[in-house]
Amino acid sequence: MELFNSLINYDKQLLIFLHSYGNEQWDKFWLFITNPIYWIPLFFVLFYFGYKAFGYKKTGLISFFVILSSTTSFVLVNQIKNTFQRLRPINDYSINKSIRQLIEANDFSFVSGHSAVSFTIAFLSYWILKPKYRFAYLIFLFPILFAYSRLYLAAHFPIDILFGMILGYLIAFLFFRITSYFLAKI
């Protein structure tokens, strides 16, 4: 138990350290980045690249599995959050006086939904597009910025982000296998 408490304390201190580099000049940028609605054009770009590489029928199937994987990620995140019920940094009385509050949120922190869903989409898209596009790895800019925005805004602790990434990877891996199976049948 002492190791667990040390890890949680280190997690809080790391967030305070990372959050301390924020300033008002960057606040609007990170508030923009953290809003999922502004990432919608990226999905149209991914659909376009999928269409150019695979045609309409396969891209439709891929899109279906991307939507299904991100929905699965979202549902699992909410189940995990409600199980662990870890307070968000902005709501954690042990540290919230040491951080700037830029957003309000009343739900729980562990794991990060932004991180899990965005990494699910990124890994799945990367594995599908990698054989066709040399620079497919650039897709990871999206979830990295998205995840960092959550730290900047003190909406999540670093461990929340890390486990969101891991969860996203695992869900994407499962859905990549499923997607590959069905793509081979078309």
How is the chain split into domains, by residue range?
Answer: 2-185
Q: To the nearest whole number, what is the mean pLDDT of the chain? A: 93
18-56: per-residue pLDDT in tens?
888 888 899 999 999 999 898 899 999 999 999 999 999
Q: Please give the average per-residue pLDDT across 114-133, as a whole number.
A: 96
Structure tokens at 1: 């138990």
pTM to 2 decimals?
0.92
pLDDT of residue 22: 85
Find tokens 């301390």 and name the residue. Answer: 20
pLDDT of residue 5: 82
Distance, CA of 175 to CA of 186 (rounded, Å):
17
Instruction: Name the percent of the chain lying above pLDDT 70.
Output: 100
Distance, CA of 129 to CA of 48 (rounded, Å):
11
Domain 2-185 has CATH 1.10.606.20: yes
Distance, CA of 26 to CA of 5 (rounded, Å):
32
Distance, CA of 112 to CA of 88 (rounded, Å):
10
Best CA proximity match to 184, nearest among 54, 52, 22, 37: 54
148-157: per-residue pLDDT in tens?
999 999 999 9
pLDDT of residue 103: 86
Q: Please give the average per-residue pLDDT across 85-107, as a whole number.
A: 88
pLDDT of residue 83: 96
Best CA proximity match to 151, nearest among 160, 139, 143: 160
Distance, CA of 31 to CA of 29 (rounded, Å):
5
143-186: per-residue pLDDT in tens?
999 999 999 999 999 999 999 999 999 999 999 999 999 999 88
